[in-house]
Amino acid sequence: MGLETILTSVFLSFSTNLDNLAVGMTYGMRQLTIGWWGNLLIASLSGVSTFFSMSVGDWLEDFLNPNLAQDMGAGIIVLMGLGVLWNAYQEETNETQDFSRPSPKNKLSFTRIVVLGLALTVTNWGTGIGAGIAELNSGLTSSFSFLSSLVTIGGGMLLGKWATRQLTGNWLSWVSGLGLILLGIYEGV
């Protein structure tokens, strides 16, 4: 396993979990707490969904011409990036939340954390299938997905607590989408 494989897995994992950072920042700004066990649960869902979706992509790759499989995997990652950019644009044009008046500090319920964790794994599915087709290492990428989810949720909560009114989490969505597009282009070349 080369350095390029490791760096690609790290980049993919962090790109798909930048939405976790945005969510963590938003919750931190609103004084909502996920807690360490909730963060661990969300990270576990991220790692498992990445591994499973990459396994599906790897299985699909067996039925495809290798060049076509590489192009499809790269294309799916690019499409996921475009989807993230579209969602960021939609959030930016529809943003009406006022973070200047944070709500009282509340801890999220187990049910709400599970729903949040499942919602945050949606990005992992598309990119995981694309990464599996592109023949990235599923164990390594899933492990980095777990770790990056831990860091992005926890780090986002901390950043959100100190964020000013002008600092919103939406710019992270733009970075994430562009990162996925660049990764998909790189994998397709």
* Buried b or exposed e, range 1-40, using 16+ CB within 10 angstroms: eeeeeeebbbbbbbbbbbbbbbbbbbbbbbebebeeebbb
SS3 assignment, position 76: helix
Among residues 24, 17, 43, 42, the alpha carbon closest in space to that of 115 is found at 42
pLDDT of residue 127: 80
The per-residue pLDDT for range 136-176, each reduced to its tens digit, is 888 999 999 999 999 999 998 888 777 644 555 566 666 66
Euclidean distance between CA atoms 184 and 17, whole angstroms: 16
| Residue labelled with tokens 């760096």 | 7
The backbone torsions φ and ψ at residue 97, rounded to the nearest 5 degrees and listed phi first, read -70, 140
Taking the whole predicted model, whether its pTM rises above 0.85 is answered as: no
Higher pLDDT, 111 or 66: 111
Q: How many residues does the chain have?
A: 189
Reported as half-sphere exposure (CB side, CA atoms, 13 A), residue 51 has a value of: 12
Confidence band of 177 (pLDDT split at 50, 70, 90)? low
The per-residue pLDDT for range 45-100, each reduced to its tens digit, is 999 999 999 998 888 877 777 677 667 767 776 776 687 678 778 777 775 544 44
pLDDT of residue 42: 94
The per-residue pLDDT for range 5-33, each reduced to its tens digit, is 888 888 888 888 877 887 787 777 777 78
| Residue labelled with tokens 């499942």 | 118
